[in-house]
A and B are shown apart, each in its own frame.
Chain A
Amino acid sequence: MINENEHWILSYYRVSEISGAQFFAQLARSMRPGAIQVDMTQHFSDEARHAALWTKCITDLGVEPLRLKGAYQDLYLSAAGIPANLMEVLAITQVFEQRVLRQYSHHLTLPNVSEPIRYTLKGIMDDEKWHISWIRRELHRMEAEYGKNEIHGTLKRLQEADREVYGKVTAEHAERIAYFNP
């Protein structure tokens, strides 16, 4: 059994994973052959699997996933602007995945987290660590092309956008998010 806030939050996680899968599916489709194509295709596959894990988790808890409009990523693009090139795509993904990892880590620290949720969070977090790792590797490799300053400046801009988005989401859903700050 889960309470209403938990039901909403898990459904929000699910929608965000679906949105991530859609985003990477489109990009993986356009990538030229090479290491990024391989890793981005795996990344897309992982996000889709995460959406399936959340779907199973929610139904195992005895409820149906809520149909929520809008995902976290939609707010990202509004706040940060459309990524202008592949480096910016990876940078925005890096920032987003770090946010997800922080959120999921925090969720694990809450009291009385049920076993299905705990299992799902841990499983997804293992993948998210790899996501951050491969993107970090590629951003480092791209320094030769874009320059370290350009990449670091982009990451900084996107981190500011992330803070803005997170602030908006927590303000908009304050009652539900209060669940996270017992």
Chain B
Amino acid sequence: MTQQMRIRQRIASMIELPVEKVNWHAAVADSPINSFLLVETIVDLQEEFKVRLFHEDVGRVTCLEDLVQLVAGRMEHGDSFGREPVSDSVAHSG
């Protein structure tokens, strides 16, 4: 099973729909996922797949497939952060 499939299955279980019934490309606002459930799903995916997402990442998510690709991309980096953990002496970039 591909990483994307595992992520889709996880999301589908969170929103209590079969994977094949989820419209992965529908706008999040039009999907059967309210904002609280979306937050829960985003947090759950990070715990489940051991990745970390940030404000600017989630801001680019317009549909559930974006979320799938975002998490899968983070997993492929091989570490738990999409960017370096920030120390106090290092200024943020971007």
Contact = CB atoms under 8 A, between A and B. Distances in A.
A85 B36 contact: no
Contacts of A147: 85-88, 90
B43 A86 contact: yes
Nearest to A81: B59
A84 interface: yes
Interface residues of A toward B: which range?
Answer: 20 to 34
Interface in A145-159: 145-150, 153-154, 157
A148 B87 CA distance: 7
Shortest beta-carbon contacts, A-B, top 10: A147-B86, A84-B58, A26-B40, A30-B44, A84-B55, A84-B53, A77-B35, A23-B36, A150-B86, A30-B40
Contact of B55 (A23, A30, A88, A145): A88
Nearest to B54: A84
Interface in B56-93: 57-59, 85-88, 90-92
Interface of B: 35-40, 42-44, 46-47, 52-55, 57-59, 85-88, 90-92
User: Interface majority SS on A: helix, strand, loop or mixed?
Assistant: helix
Contacts of B55: 81, 84, 88, 154, 157
A69 interface: no
Nearest to A143: B88
A30 B58 contact: no
Contact of A146 (B47, B85, B90): B85
A27 B44 CA distance: 9
A88 B58 CA distance: 11
A179 to B, nearest CB: 30
Contacts of B54: 84-85
A161 to B, nearest CB: 12
Nearest to B61: A82
A59 B71 CA distance: 48
Interface string A25-42: 011011010000000000
A95 B87 CA distance: 23
A110 interface: no
Interface in A17-60: 22-23, 26-27, 29-30, 32
A86 B85 contact: no
Contacts of B42: 82-85
